[in-house]
Amino acid sequence: MTFKRMIHAVDTHAGTPMRVITGGVPHIPGATVYEKMKWLEANDDQLRKLVLREPRGYPAHCCNLLVPPCHPEADAGYIIMEQVEYPMMSGGNTISVVTVLLEMGILPMKEPVTELMLEAPAGLIRVRADCAGGKVKAVTFRNVPAFAAHIDAEIDVPHLGKVRVDVGWGGMFYVIADVRQFKGLELKPEHGGEIVRISAMIRQAAIEQLQVNHPDYPGVGITISQLSGPSDDPKADWKNAVTMATGPLSWDDPATWTGALDRCPCGTGTCAKMATLHAKGELKLNQPFRHQGLLGNIYTGHLVDEVTLHGRKAVVPTITGTSWIYGMNTMVLDPDDPFTEGFTIGDIWA
């Protein structure tokens, strides 16, 4: 049978499903992975929609496309795709990409430690993978510089009132609010509906009221939100719930005040949180920061250096976490299927 598209992927998760496309996508032009990402966004956005929307995906799904690296020091390249954007960097997705590259034999695994250099849209990412018995037990990556864009800013959120937030860059711009500002709300799975409602509203208000800029990525703004609070687990320092957008928010339509919860502890969100804590004097260099997601699993971060990013104070974070392969997937597009970009329905999508 002839299909319009046939895409091969390995499905992984660290809570959140993070698909890794290993074949079926034609050559993508570009002198860097960033340029490849921009070409894909402009010329074949169908791919992102097809693999992340129904019936092949669902709101919390993320995806990565393996591409040949452009930088001579890199072993592999990857483009990150989410429901409403192509992020410059993602921690959980990076951990999943490394797991697939090594456990599937795309790159050679060396036990007990494999060292790699990956090329993300954000640039070169140095990776250490702890390996045993043919398995990747933990991945540690050195992220791009992170920084605080706003500290203790007060925004006016319709229907919520005044909310105090931080904004941090960790590969994406996160607006971060302490959950203790919202009476009765706790960072637990059963409060998920209210977490995403409040988080989506905070994100939209922050987009409208707080300016951010990254010197290397003009036009990239706040796209994601994080509720944060102390953890009652002695193995963790803070707990977080990151809400990913699944569509545009309209203040006139409460049905759009929603999103999808990140089921993992969120790597770039952890980097952004560490950058804001460091800016407040609450997290020192090389101090372990154990960040817990809603499911209870933990990413451990460290700030390993202070740097200057085009005149701005920044920090260099590392993140350690684990991802697990749960399936092999061949996705096809039937020539008679009218839903060539997948579909969304308002019961679970914004």
Backbone angles phi, psi at 99, to 5 degrees: -60, -45
What value does the mean pLDDT take over residues 6-27? 97
pLDDT at 198: 98
User: Is there a contact between 137 and 156 (Cβ–Cβ < 8 Å)?
Assistant: no
What is the per-residue pLDDT for 66? Answer: 98
CA distance 258 to 241: 13
pLDDT digits (tens, 9 = 90+) for 125-180: 999 999 999 999 999 999 999 999 999 999 999 999 999 999 999 999 999 999 99
Task: In whole angstroms, give the CA distance from residue 169 to residue 146.
Answer: 5
Candidate list 131, 264, 266, 271, residue with the active-site label: 266
pLDDT exceeds 90 at position 350: no
pLDDT(326) > 90: yes
What pLDDT, in 10s, does the model give residues 30-83? 999 999 999 999 999 999 999 999 999 999 999 999 999 999 999 999 999 999
In the residue annotation, 225 being an active-site residue is answered as no
Mean pLDDT of the chain: 97
Q: Which helix or strand (DSSP H or E) is residue 163 part of?
A: strand 161-169
- Does 271 qualify as catalytic in the annotation? no
Residue 271 dihedral angles phi and psi, to the nearest 5°: -65, -45
Residue 288's nearest CA partner among 305, 267, 302 is 302
Residue 253: which pLDDT band, with cuts at 50, 70 and 90?
A: very high
Rg value, the chain, Cα: 19
Beta bridge mates, 290: 300
| Per-residue confidence (pLDDT) for residue 82, from 0 to 100 | 97
Higher pLDDT, 274 or 1: 274
Largest pairwise CA distance in the chain: 62
Q: Assess if CATH 3.10.310.10 describes domain 5-144+324-333.
A: yes
List 63, 90, 96, 264, catalytic entry:
90
Q: What is the pTM of this model?
A: 0.96
| Domain boundaries along the sequence of the chain | 5-144+324-333, 147-319
Give the model confidence (pLDDT) of 89-107 as tens digits. Answer: 999 999 999 999 999 999 9
> Hey, what CATH topology would domain 147-319 get?
Diaminopimelate Epimerase; Chain A, domain 1 (3.10.310)
Q: What is the pLDDT of residue 1?
A: 74
* Sequence letter at residue 80: I
Picking from 194, 275, 270, the residue whose alpha carbon sits closest to that of residue 237 is: 270
